[in-house]
Structure 1
């Protein structure tokens, strides 16, 4: 047996361990969750969890957390939140970024981690769906192993559109609410593609009995045929999208690390000039000769010493490592058997809370409270890097151009201390869309202090930096980002 066949067999066996595939028949209706283990007292907001089948042939079901707006649910926008990775659970967005819960960062002692209310949640101003996607992320699952090998940009975006249509059919009271697609990091690449799928879906012509694609990207997407009868498919009230520290798939995402490092004083003037000269100006990701390759190796060594997620914070052990073999370990009786407990960073590290999420989600009492279907996911992982993912859409730029040129709004924000996807590159590609500048680079404020800088373009595109924030911005600057999204959703200047 060849090495590739052996690897495929090992992956197949690993998937069988994690996903036993004994799920009951699908149901789209959600269940209200009034209390959560680890949170003292009843939840001070409306939480619903549930599943939506997004692929009826293969039995793919996406798990979601829905939280009604703490303001005016009947009128406030509906935001669908996708988490990056790819293959990271949307629970990360709920407890680490924009949701109304967070973990108490206390040293783990074997008991259930504690949750508390987060005051600067985006649910203050919007209804929010946190969607575990693509398949294999969080508590989303498939009844057929083959589906876990098919996850990619195209299938992810199509499945999300299918989810939205079916979810809104089940929740018709939110059909008239303004709809925004939102997400960050790698999901920032998927968000405009999903927005395009929604636009495609809204261009349904009943008289022709077919769907028509928006002309700008008609060769780039394959529209999803839903099982819902054509006349019952709702028009989605899409208003735009929101992306933070976003990936595009373009070379600029990573090439921007070099000028960013130079601007931040991480590399010297001499080395910056050398790497520019050796690597043909700006394409640092494709060494053209040995000198360029040597320079880039040196650059990688320099970066290895710092925290690329936020260059001002300490470098810590990852809470969702790349695949490594771990022994089976059992905790207390109320815990599931854990195959891949992640390494534990120091308590003063920001990602220590990621460890708490891992132990919290892998308990029987939590799964019962969330109404997780038994036998579907053997072990919850914050980011499931064991499963394959295909980057089958090279770039999202054409989708940004198509959706914004069609009159829909876009908010693009970046933490200005993120070296993973530096704001330098994001600023570059937003300018490359060649929209007219309405309001050039200017400061925006929270509590009388500069919170970052913003540029407003024609076609309703706004680019924002968040001062002092990393990857991703909301995790570092909750208060400032809540002010940002409130003003933007309200069509007010930042």
Structure 2
């Protein structure tokens, strides 16, 4: 399935990098050789490199010598990046209901971001996907530790892949990774300022439906629910007045506020918080106070290796499907012994691949989970720091997402004192059709584009892959979206 190469390379500080790499030429479920270059491997980070982060790396199918080098981070935290590989921005898709080599069959994705970029799909923080630790002490992570270790990973990656040192680098991801993306990006810039080797060609960052300010983003759910006619104007105004606009941190002794929030939750209880037009297959939605912005209660079942339901092709599905059932195919594929062997997963390190590690996943209102501490409440300050650098940013939001609504995202963007430039809520198009709206901002050498993706939910590329691909292709090429 490829060859294993173990390299020991000296960093600038004369410490030893243990780097393992496998070139994967074929994969179970796909007929014939892969038409793109796939590498998998581990890079150790943290003290004594006790944290071993697993990655998939796909060289650009366009011009790998010049195309951007991006790292993609999944949400959760603790969700495996294989979800992005199969369902969002990766080179392959699962053929639902079809099997090959005793695993779900695979096919190529025509909208893979690897057509215009070199993409690292990283299982981070530790105990995510195929990543593991060598010591029990290294199991627990946090927002700040995860960001630091990911920045360390990136420097070590380009150290061991020197041909990509000159490629423009961007830190990218979705959902909860919105907390860590600007921290990682600032740390890379700062490391360059301090002369850390190797100097990386960091150019900016990108985030989709990013959780950024945990209080503000949750608060914005109520305004979003009102805007899309899920709650009445009277109920919205009453709740806003009684809770003084603060729903996420509402005073539990404020009886009228609690009554109003209860009424709101009753109205949205049967709405899918990740995509308001999708069928709701989970327990009742709560927007605040007991609701969970990143994982729905009762979802544990859908994250395990349950029996696979047979589905026809996606295009012929009716409105009665449950999107979470798709992910069971990835779980079945990833836990196959032949798959793990092909990917060169180290034997004995991962007992079971899970879509998401529930000991890490963000639970609003809790300061921590057994394996993770949520120690950054807001990452806006890091966006402010980056606005003083020579830096590019793209923030995009599926406009049917009520989990991290575009309303809250635009609020925090407006708070960092940028100047609106050539676009102000202008439509952007793919194939002659409106795909959403865009606003462009600038501050000195910093630019930020905020774009909505019409009809998309929380993981926008999953819902609107062609539109999102066209959006990033233009942005990477420094063209208007």
27 and 342 in structure 1: CA distance in 2 versus 1, 3 angstrom threshold = farther
SS at match of 1:181: strand
Shift of 1:404: 2.4
Unaligned runs of 5+ in 2: 1-15, 284-294, 312-320, 361-370
- 1:294 matched to 2:281? The reply is no
> Residue in 2 aligned with 1:252?
216
168 and 58 in structure 1: CA distance in 2 versus 1, 3 angstrom threshold = closer
1:207-226 to structure 2, matched below 5 A, reads none
322 and 60 in structure 1: CA distance in 2 versus 1, 3 angstrom threshold = farther
Cα distance in 2, alignment partners of residues 136 and 36 from structure 1: 23
Q: Per-residue displacement from partner, 1:469-489 (whole Å, max 9, x unpaired)?
A: 001111111100111001111
418 and 304 in structure 1: CA distance in 2 versus 1, 3 angstrom threshold = same
1:287-326 to structure 2, matched below 5 A, reads 287-288=250-251, 289-317=254-282
Please, what TM-score do these two structures have when normalized by structure 2? 0.85
> Residue in 2 aligned with 1:417?
400
- 1:444 matched to 2:428? The reply is yes
1:34-113 to structure 2, matched below 5 A, reads 34-57=25-48, 59-106=50-97, 111-113=102-104
Please, what TM-score do these two structures have when normalized by structure 1? 0.83
Cα distance in 2, alignment partners of residues 322 and 98 from structure 1: 27
Shift of 1:57: 2.4
> Residue in 2 aligned with 1:479?
466
343 and 296 in structure 1: CA distance in 2 versus 1, 3 angstrom threshold = farther
Of the three residues 220, 227, 231, the one matched with 1:267 is 231
> Residue in 1 aligned with 2:477?
490
380 and 402 in structure 1: CA distance in 2 versus 1, 3 angstrom threshold = same
Contact 2:171 2:205 in 1 (8 A): yes
Cα distance in 1, alignment partners of residues 300 and 379 from structure 2: 35
Cα distance in 1, alignment partners of residues 209 and 78 from structure 2: 17
Contact 1:29 1:170 in 2 (8 A): no
SS at match of 2:48: coil
> Residue in 1 aligned with 2:336?
363
44 and 316 in structure 1: CA distance in 2 versus 1, 3 angstrom threshold = farther
Unaligned runs of 5+ in 1: 1-24, 206-229, 327-338
> Residue in 1 aligned with 2:246?
283
Shift of 1:324: 9.1
> Residue in 1 aligned with 2:175?
185
> Residue in 1 aligned with 2:317?
none
Cα distance in 2, alignment partners of residues 103 and 160 from structure 1: 28
- 1:460 matched to 2:443? The reply is no
Cα distance in 2, alignment partners of residues 274 and 460 from structure 1: 38
Contact 2:43 2:53 in 1 (8 A): yes
SS at match of 1:256: helix
SS at match of 2:260: helix
Cα distance in 2, alignment partners of residues 301 and 109 from structure 1: 45
- Compare the two structures and name the one with the higher strand fraction: 2
Of the three residues 122, 128, 134, the one matched with 1:131 is 122
> Residue in 1 aligned with 2:10?
none
Contact 1:317 1:344 in 2 (8 A): no
- 1:428 matched to 2:411? The reply is yes
> Residue in 1 aligned with 2:138?
147
1:194-205 to structure 2, matched below 5 A, reads 194-205=184-195
Cα distance in 1, alignment partners of residues 267 and 139 from structure 2: 36
> Residue in 2 aligned with 1:341?
305
Q: Per-residue displacement from partner, 1:353-389 (whole Å, max 9, x unpaired)?
A: 2000011111100000000001111110010013421
> Residue in 1 aligned with 2:367?
none
- Higher mean alpha-carbon deviation, 55-64 vs 255-264, is at 55-64
Contact 1:26 1:61 in 2 (8 A): no
344 and 423 in structure 1: CA distance in 2 versus 1, 3 angstrom threshold = farther
> Residue in 2 aligned with 1:336?
none
Shift of 1:342: 5.0
Shift of 1:317: 4.6
Contact 1:316 1:345 in 2 (8 A): no
- Higher mean alpha-carbon deviation, 345-354 vs 243-252, is at 345-354
Q: Per-residue displacement from partner, 1:168-199 (whole Å, max 9, x unpaired)?
A: 11100000000000000001111110001101
CA RMSD of aligned residues (A): 2.3
323 and 250 in structure 1: CA distance in 2 versus 1, 3 angstrom threshold = closer
Cα distance in 1, alignment partners of residues 76 and 239 from structure 2: 29
SS at match of 2:340: helix
Contact 2:104 2:332 in 1 (8 A): yes
Cα distance in 2, alignment partners of residues 430 and 354 from structure 1: 32
Cα distance in 2, alignment partners of residues 266 and 359 from structure 1: 36
Cα distance in 1, alignment partners of residues 359 and 268 from structure 2: 25
Cα distance in 1, alignment partners of residues 418 and 49 from structure 2: 42
Cα distance in 1, alignment partners of residues 107 and 64 from structure 2: 22
Shift of 1:59: 1.4
Of the three residues 188, 207, 214, the one matched with 1:243 is 207
Contact 2:17 2:156 in 1 (8 A): no
Q: Per-residue displacement from partner, 1:35-76 (whole Å, max 9, x unpaired)?
A: 110111111111000000012426110000000001000000
